[in-house]
């Protein structure tokens, strides 16, 4: 925890002055030292007076964290908001691309000016390593929070991929491109519908390379048959070996796609996520899209591991960051609300429609697990539209008060993610119990305030998530904001 102005890439790159809008820059005319200094001071004072934070960005980030908590802790009771078992898009499927989108926007602001490339690269590398470390620690299997009070992981089964690891990769690539193109970036953008794309063509070239790598690998890589040993203590299939027959190319189904094959080859099958959401698909259970008993004729891959934040899909995810940084560039260079919103909404709806067309023509289905191109377009367009809506409500119409709790969470998103979404604070509270682990404060609240009062598993879960997690973290983040405390990676 740190008191200061700078927070992690997940949160943005600065504190309360992070998203100030530039009002202009004046170059001294006579070149004299004192006059230069006076003019710079005058300009700085003018900027400080007239600039204001774009609150919509914090609200958007806060909304993403709130959705993440809701679907992670409420998805078990309301599985229709949990991740889609395969093709399609649910509420939970917007979380990851929204994160990457806002990371891209934050990079545009953080790297508006890069005085020293070497120092910037060092800072980016250190931040990337920090996110990788926290990602492995929180999602690699070492932390068993919040219900299991034990800790530790078998290194033969540690999971190397995860949410923060994907964010780290996208941040690293997009930020490096921004840094190394600093000398060719324009200070102003000429008029024209495509001028902003031309001005930052190197960023789009990076996204294009990621797209080509993903598409070529996905549709050309040969996927052979593969096998796995199922591990689940107490299950009738524990210890059994299963074989999945493939021998195909260009498959986008669960069993034989190139995304899964790359991860099995790079990380090893024992290091992949062991509870993939495809077990809720129609091929695996009659209860789909809810969790239910396996069908008698369920294929072997229903029990197989699959990495939803794997290597090839993370390369595709670079496109989400590229879309985000483009929105940030628009915010920097376009000075009026009308110009920004016109570009944002046009691009947002264009991407949304393209994703829908690709999905319903079955050319490339929307699929979060594969991070398909249609999924990138659909969620990227949705992110642009949601940001535009927040911008209109908060920054244009001035309706800031109803969204303050989202802003507060957005300003301290990394802290809420680690302590809240990953259950670290709940695990700490659960660690103080009386006689048995079931006699902790959290368990008492759940039993006496929610279960005994509402007499509904689903409703009590939803109310607990809303009041004891989302509202709690909104208040906590607000207090930390008033104290000027932000967590930095």
Report the percentage of the chain scoring pLDDT > 90. 65
> Residue 377: which residues within 8 A CB-CB, separation 6 or more?
351, 352, 354, 355, 358
Residue 5 pLDDT greater than 90, yes or no: no
Q: H-type helices in 221-366, by residue range?
A: 258-266, 311-333, 337-360
In this structure, what token pair is assigned to residue 295? Answer: 């069908």
Residue 461's pLDDT is 86
Are 157 and 305 in contact, with CB atoms under 8 Å apart? Answer: no
Evaluate if residue 47 carries a pLDDT over 70. no
- DSSP code of 91? G
By the 10 Å C-beta count (0-12 exposed, 13-18 middle, 19+ buried), 84 is classed as: buried
Check pLDDT > 50 for residue 40. no
Q: Is 273 helix (H, G, I), strand (E, B) or coil?
A: coil
Sign of the CA dihedral with 21 first, then 27, 33, and 38 last: negative
Average pLDDT over residues 443-448: 81
- Model confidence pLDDT, tens digit, residues 222-258: 999 999 999 888 888 888 999 999 999 999 999 999 9
Residue 2 φ/ψ, nearest 5 degrees: -145, 140
Neighbours of 162 (CB within 10 A): 23
The tally of CA atoms less than 13 A away on the side-chain side of residue 58 is 29
What is the pLDDT, as a whole number, of residue 12?
52
Quick check: 133 pLDDT over 80?
yes
Per-residue pLDDT band at 4 (split at 50, 70, 90): very low
Would strands 226-229 and 485-486 be described as parallel, antiparallel, or unpaired? unpaired
Q: How crowded is residue 457: how many other Cβ atoms within 10 Å of its Cβ?
A: 12
The lowest-confidence range among 231-240, 277-286, 377-386, 478-487 is: 231-240
Residue 373 in contact with residue 320, Cβ under 8 Å? no
pLDDT band at 144; cut points 50, 70, 90: confident
Q: How confident is the model at residue 11 (pLDDT cuts 50, 70, 90)?
A: low
In this prediction, residue 37 carries a pLDDT of 52
DSSP secondary structure string, 427-483? HHHHTSBSSSTTSBHHHHHIIIIIIHHH--HHHHHHHHIIIIIIIHHHHHHHHHHHH
**Bridge partners, residue 433, by sequence:** 440
Phi-psi region at 347: left, alpha or beta (left = phi > 0; alpha = psi -120 to 50):
alpha
**What predicted TM-score, i.e. pTM, was given to this entire model?**
0.88
Q: How confident is the model at residue 301 (pLDDT cuts 50, 70, 90)?
A: very high
pLDDT at 159 over 90: yes
Mean pLDDT of 172-187: 90
> What is the predicted pLDDT for the residue at 190?
78
More confident residue, 216 or 452: 216
SS3 269: helix
What's the token pair of residue 287? 């209860």
- In whole angstroms, give the CA distance from residue 87 to residue 253: 9
Dihedral sign for Cα 154, 159, 160, 166, please.
negative
Is residue 219 predicted with pLDDT exceeding 70?
Answer: yes
- Residue 270 burial class via C-beta count within 10 angstroms: exposed 0-12, middle 13-18, buried 19 and up: middle
* Both tokens assigned to 482: 């008033």
The candidate with the shortest Cα–Cα distance to 322, out of 243, 205, 475, 479, is: 205
Note the residue count of the chain.
489
Q: What is the pLDDT of residues 316-366, one digit of tens each?
A: 999 999 999 999 999 999 989 999 999 999 999 999 999 999 999 999 999
pLDDT digits (tens, 9 = 90+) for 394-445: 999 999 999 999 999 999 999 999 998 888 888 888 888 888 888 888 888 8
Distance CA 202, CA 125 (A): 20
The residue behind tokens 């591990």 is 231
Using a 10 angstrom Cβ sphere, with 0-12 exposed, 13-18 middle and 19 or more buried, the burial of residue 191 is exposed
pLDDT band at residue 10 under the 50/70/90 scheme: low
> SS3 of 485, please?
strand
Q: 404 φ, ψ to 5°? A: -60, -40
């Amino acid at each position: 925890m740190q008191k200061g102005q700078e927070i992690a890439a997940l949160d943005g790159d600065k504190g309360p002055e992070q998203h100030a809008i530039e009002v202009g820059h004046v170059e001294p005319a006579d070149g004299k030292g004192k006059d230069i200094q006076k003019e710079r001071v005058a300009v700085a004072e003018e900027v400080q007076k007239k600039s204001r934070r774009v609150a919509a960005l914090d609200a958007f980030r806060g909304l993403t964290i709130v959705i993440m908590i809701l679907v992670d802790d409420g998805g078990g009771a309301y599985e229709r908001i949990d991740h889609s078992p395969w093709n399609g898009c649910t509420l939970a499927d917007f979380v990851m691309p929204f994160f990457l989108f806002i990371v891209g926007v934050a990079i545009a602001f953080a790297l508006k000016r890069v005085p020293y490339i070497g120092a910037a690269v060092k800072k980016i590398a250190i931040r990337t390593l920090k996110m990788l470390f926290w990602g492995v620690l929180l999602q690699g299997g070492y932390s068993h929070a919040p219900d299991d009070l034990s800790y530790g992981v078998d290194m033969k089964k540690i999971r190397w991929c995860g949410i923060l690891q994907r964010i780290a990769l996208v941040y690293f690539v997009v930020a490096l491109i921004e840094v190394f193109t600093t000398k060719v970036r324009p200070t102003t953008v000429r008029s024209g519908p495509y001028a902003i794309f031309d001005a930052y063509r190197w960023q789009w070239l990076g996204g294009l390379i990621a797209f080509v790598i993903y598409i070529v690998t996905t549709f050309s890589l040969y996927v052979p048959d593969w096998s796995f040993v199922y591990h689940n203590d107490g299950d009738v299939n524990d210890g059994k070996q299963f074989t999945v027959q493939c021998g195909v190319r260009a498959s986008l189904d669960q069993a034989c796609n190139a995304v899964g094959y790359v991860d099995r080859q790079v990380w090893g099958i024992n290091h992949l996520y062991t509870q993939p959401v495809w077990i809720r698909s129609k091929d695996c259970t009659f209860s789909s899209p809810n969790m239910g008993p396996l069908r008698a004729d369920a294929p072997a891959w229903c029990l197989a591991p699959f990495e939803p934040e794997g290597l090839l899909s993370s390369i595709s995810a670079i496109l989400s960051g590229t879309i985000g940084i483009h929105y940030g560039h628009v915010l920097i260079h376009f000075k009026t609300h009308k110009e920004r919103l016109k570009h944002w909404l046009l691009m947002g709806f264009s991407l949304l429609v393209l994703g829908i067309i690709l999905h319903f023509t079955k050319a490339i289905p929307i699929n979060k697990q594969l991070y398909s191109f249609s999924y990138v377009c659909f969620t990227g367009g949705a992110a642009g539209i949601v940001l535009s809506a927040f911008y209109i409500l908060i920054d244009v119409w001035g309706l800031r008060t109803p969204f303050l709790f989202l802003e507060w969470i957005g300003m301290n998103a990394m802290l809420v993610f680690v302590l809240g979404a990953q259950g670290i604070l709940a695990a700490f509270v659960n660690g103080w119990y009386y006689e048995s682990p079931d006699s902790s404060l959290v368990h008492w609240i759940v039993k006496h305030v929610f279960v005994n009062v509402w007499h509904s598993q689903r409703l009590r879960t939803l109310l607990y998530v809303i009041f004891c997690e989302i509202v709690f973290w909104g208040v906590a983040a607000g207090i930390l904001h008033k104290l000027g405390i932000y967590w930095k990676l």
